[in-house]
Amino acid sequence: MSELGARAVSGLQSSWTLLAIPVALSLLGVLTMHTFGEGSFAPRQLLWILLGTIVFIVCASLDMHFLRRTPVIVAGYLGALALLVLVLLIAPTISGAKSWFSFGAFSFQPADLAKLVIIALMAKYFSRRHMEIGHVWHIILSGIYVAIPMGLLLLQPDLGTAAIIGAVWFGLVLVSGISKKHLAVVFITGAVAIAGLWTFGLHEYQRERIVSFLNPAADIHGSGYNAYQAVVAVGSGELFGKGIGYGTQSKLRFLPEYETDFIFAAFAEEWGFVGIVFVLTLFGLLFLQLILIARRAATNFDALFTIGVCILLAAHLFIHAGINLGLLPVTGTTIPFMSYGGSHVLMEFAALGVVASLAKYARSVPRGMAGQEFSG
């Protein structure tokens, strides 16, 4: 069997792992929602999981290598920017943010699409310039491409998603082979950007959340309430949890947004430390599978896209768990697959489906495509 044939067979076998683990995580989330007695969350989420599974199968079955074509990536990037601008202009304000288009019972968050587009754009950019990454100009230019959607997200405001997109960019810069000197430049630029963000980009309530994070006991009945209740829920779960359906912090509504932003804490209260270890193990196996697929990838684009998806999911998990454990300020970030929601679940299943497709249909870059890379 040829090397590419072996990659294709391996990619087909990996597809089932990429689907089974997210479905298992999703069902754990549904079980957590169901135990709180809410009639709408669990059934709706089951529907989203079914649709997400279908999206994964469709993406994995088709050859998705067309995504690396320059016209497709440019169109996707401009389309994502247009949607981010449009949501600022016409979307209703929900929970203090203009982040969703509402269509009756369904809401669509353009930021979810923007995450995938940024991964494809950065994978394309760095796959073409991996030999030139020593030139700081390429790092700056790639940062500009990412800074535009990040700025639009901060206007919503959606600090969590902006931070995740920034993490994807930084992670791909690292794996692309940045020099230590330029890494120092990135850190200095990041420090200046954070200072500017604190002064000009954050709303007052966002500053209050960060201050309350630094001193949680300062205002547990105000800006620090959510973080405090989440930590109480996690701690009360102890080793084996209170049992399925016995999470008092969630059932008595002390824990806000338990189906989305704080489902990690709600799950920890019922399942305890053992349950959290199980969930983190599932995520660890998923990340390991993505890394193995990236190492076997036939092209730089395939490898960088796969790593980008891994970084995206890991950043979501890290920030969500950090918020629920009181280690990070509250930003309203979902945990992959487990949190309630439609657009983020579809995006996550679609991303893994594309990874499965790239592995399944692994092949070398056609000569005719060599000159069609996204130019700076």
Tens-place pLDDT, residues 286-332: 999 999 999 999 889 999 999 999 999 999 999 999 989 888 877 77
3-12, 128-137, 163-172, range with greatest mean pLDDT:
163-172
% of the chain residues with pLDDT over 90: 42
Tens-place pLDDT, residues 103-112: 766 778 899 9
Checking 152-155 for CB contacts under 8 A at 24+ apart, the result is: 152/81, 152/84, 152/85, 152/88, 153/84, 153/111, 153/114, 154/197, 154/201, 155/88
Amino acid 118: pLDDT = 96
Amino acid 188: pLDDT = 76
What are φ and ψ of residue 108, in 5° steps? Answer: -120, 130
Residue 92 clears pLDDT 80, i.e. is over it: yes
The residue ranges of every structural domain in the chain are: 3-364
Per DSSP, which regions of 86-161 are E strands?
Answer: 101-103, 106-108
Give the DSSP letter string of 14-42.
Answer: HHHHHHHHHHHHHHHHHHHHHTTT-TTHH
Mean pLDDT for 201-223 is 61
Amino acid 179: pLDDT = 65
3-class state of residue 374 by DSSP: coil
Mean pLDDT for 44-73 is 93
Mean pLDDT for 244-273 is 81
What are φ and ψ of residue 105, in 5° steps? Answer: -80, -10
Provide the mean pLDDT of the chain: 82
Amino acid 373: pLDDT = 42
Amino acid 328: pLDDT = 82
21-25, 154-158, 269-273, 367-371, range with greatest mean pLDDT:
21-25
Amino acid 74: pLDDT = 94
Amino acid 275: pLDDT = 94
Q: Residue 53 corresponds to which amino acid?
A: T
Amino acid 330: pLDDT = 78
Q: Give the list of residues 6+ apart from residue 320 with CB closer than 8 angstroms, or none.
A: 261, 264, 333, 334, 335, 339
Amino acid 215: pLDDT = 58
Q: Residue 200 corresponds to which amino acid?
A: F
Residue 345 clears pLDDT 90, i.e. is over it: yes
Mean pLDDT for 194-219 is 62
Mean pLDDT for 160-176 is 89
Reported as a pLDDT band with limits 50, 70 and 90, residue 187 is: confident
Amino acid 53: pLDDT = 96
Q: Please state whether the predicted TM-score (pTM) of the whole model is above 0.75.
A: yes
Residue 220 clears pLDDT 80, i.e. is over it: no
Give Cα 340 distance to the centre of its chain: 14
